[in-house]
Amino acid sequence: MNTKRKAKYAPPFSLRLADKERKALEELADGMPLGTFIKECVIRLILDKKLRPAQSKRGVIDKKLAAMLLAALGKSRIASNMNQLAKAANSGSLPVNEEVLRDLWEAVQFIRWIRDTLIKSMGLKPNSSNNSDEPHNDP
């Protein structure tokens, strides 16, 4: 006697679409099987209370924001400057005056902008009060 049991699957679900609807869904699916795409959209709609486009496991990156961030990092000397500040602070030779405080504030704002831009590029909302698309220089 065969003791193997067959897995029970739910019965298939059928959905009729007009030609235009099917073409539109196939475009949105971007190569994903149509059934899988529709299932993910419905589940996201139910779980998230809003319909989101299908995302990879890594998330969707806004290429324009990512390029802007990389350009800003390339132009900055932030790593070198932060290293120099750390050495001066550790040796006790860092003078604390208005110019140093202003420069430190500028570095903090720039780092905050980088963080917020990275968060935005992943499609998330930053949690800081600095929501500008440009770094701030004012303390």
Residues 86-132 have pLDDT tens digits of: 788 778 888 878 887 888 888 888 888 887 887 777 677 877 655 45
Are the C-beta atoms of residues 38 and 25 closer than 8 Å to each other?
A: yes
Are the C-beta atoms of residues 113 and 135 closer than 8 Å to each other?
A: yes
**For the chain, percent of residues with pLDDT exceeding 90:** 1
Q: In sequence order, which residues have a C-beta less than 8 Å from that of residue 5 and are 6 or more positions away?
A: none
Q: Of 5, 8, 25, give the one whose Cα is nearest residue 17.
A: 25
Are the C-beta atoms of residues 110 and 135 closer than 8 Å to each other?
A: yes
If one counts every other C-beta atom within 10 angstroms of the C-beta of residue 77, the result is 9
Residue-wise pLDDT tens digits, 20-42: 988 888 888 888 888 888 888 87
Are the C-beta atoms of residues 51 and 44 closer than 8 Å to each other?
A: yes
pLDDT at residue 139, as a whole number: 44
Question: What average pLDDT does this structure show over 41-47?
Answer: 76
CA atoms within 13 A on the CB side of 60: 8
pLDDT at residue 3, as a whole number: 62
Q: What angle do CA 40, 44, 49 make, to 5 degrees?
A: 160
- Alpha helices of 61-97 — where are they, by DSSP H? 63-75, 78-91
Amino acid letter, 53: P
Residue 133 gets which letter from DSSP?
S
- Is 0.75 surpassed by the pTM of this model? no
Least confidently predicted of 36-50, 51-65, 73-87, 106-120: 51-65
